[in-house]
Amino acid sequence: MRFIYYIAVIMLVFSGLAVYGLFDTRIDISEPFISVNDRIISKTEFEKMSRRKPAYMSEAQFVESIIDQQLMIQEAIRMDIHKEESFRDAVETFYEQSLIKILLDRKLDSLSVDVTEADITKFRKWTGYRLFLTKFIYPGMKDALEKTNATEQKVAADFTALSDHVKFAALHMEKGEYSRPKHRGMQGVVVYRLDDIQPVTATDTDADPPESYDTQQIKQLLQDMKKEQLLEEWTRNIRQSADIWRKK
C-alpha cells in the first residue's frame, strides 16, 4: 500500500506539468501569457499551473520550466512518441496511480484519531528501555493468521533506535504478546513478539536520547501511525467485501 502511495506521489510531482500541457488543449487567446511555437498558454491557464509551483522556485524560474516542458512535449509529438503503445501504457498507469493517490489523500484527511496524555507518557517512558523482540516473517496473511511457515529473527535494540512502525507496535504489546500482522512489501507479512524489556544504561545505548523527542513530535508520530492503522483496516475491509477470483 505505502509503495503504491509513494510511487503515485513521485509520478504526480514529475509528470504533472507534462501531462497538463499535453492534454489540456483549451486556449484562451484573449490573454496570452506564454507562447512556445504554436502552443499558447493563457494567463488563466498559467495561474492554474502555478498551483503546482514548487516553493523553492521563483515565478520566473517556473515560467522557464514550463517553456522547457512544452519544448520537450512538442519534440516528443514530432517524433510520434504519443502514438506508441509504451506511451499509452504510461498514461494509463499515471491515471490509475493519480486516482489512488487522491483516494488515499481524501481518506487520510477524513480520519480522526486521538492521542492521549497516557500515550505520550508511555512513549516517553519506553525511550529509557531496551526491547528484545522476535520477528516472524510469513509468506502471506493466511500463514500469519495460522502461524505457519514462519522465518524467525531475534531483535534487540533500544526503543529509540527502532523504526516508527516497530515503536508503535511495541507500545501496544505486553511481554509475551504479539503485534498485528502487517504487510511489508517483498518481505511478506511481519509479526513481532515482545520477549523482554530492560532499562537502558548510559553506557550501552547508541540511540537518540529521550529528551530528543518533544511532545509535538511524539504526538505527530502517534497520530500518523494510528491513521495508517485505520487506513490498513479500511483497505482490508474493502478487500474482504470484494468478489475476487484468481486462477490457481
pLDDT digits (tens, 9 = 90+) for 135-181: 999 998 889 989 999 999 999 999 999 999 999 999 999 999 999 99
Give the mean pLDDT of the chain: 85
Q: What angle do CA 98, 164, 202 make, to 5 degrees?
A: 155
What is the Cα–Cα distance from 138 to 145, expressed in whole angstroms? 9
What is the reported pLDDT for 205?
A: 53
Burial of 15 (0-12, 13-18, 19+ CB in 10 A): middle
Query: At residue 18, does pLDDT exceed 80?
Result: no
182-183 and 189-199 beta bridge pairing: antiparallel
What is the reported pLDDT for 114?
A: 94
What is the Cα–Cα distance from 129 to 228, expressed in whole angstroms? 25
What is the reported pLDDT for 208?
A: 56
- What distance lies between CA 226 and its chain's CA centroid? 14
Give per-residue pLDDT as tens, 34-63: 999 999 999 999 999 999 999 999 999 999
Residues of the chain with pLDDT > 90, as a percent, come to 69
Query: At residue 28, does pLDDT exceed 80?
Result: no
Per the confidence metrics, is the pTM higher than 0.95? no
Assign 207 a pLDDT band (cuts: 50, 70, 90).
low
Mean pLDDT of 191-209: 77
Q: Which residues of 34-70 are buried (b: 16+ CB within 10 A; e: fewer)?
A: bebeebebbeebbeebeeebeeeeeeeebbeebeebb
Annotated domain spans of the chain:
2-108, 117-200+210-218
Query: At residue 85, does pLDDT exceed 50?
Result: yes
Please identify, in words, the CATH class of the domain defined by 117-200+210-218. alpha beta
Mean pLDDT of 198-207: 68
What is the reported pLDDT for 30?
A: 57
- Identify the weakest region by mean pLDDT among 19-28, 42-51, 75-84, 216-225: 19-28
What is the reported pLDDT for 50?
A: 93
Query: At residue 71, does pLDDT exceed 90?
Result: yes
Mean pLDDT of 231-241: 90
What is the reported pLDDT for 209?
A: 55
What is the reported pLDDT for 83?
A: 93
What is the reported pLDDT for 189?
A: 92
Assign 203 a pLDDT band (cuts: 50, 70, 90).
low
What is the reported pLDDT for 4?
A: 43
Query: At residue 13, does pLDDT exceed 60?
Result: no
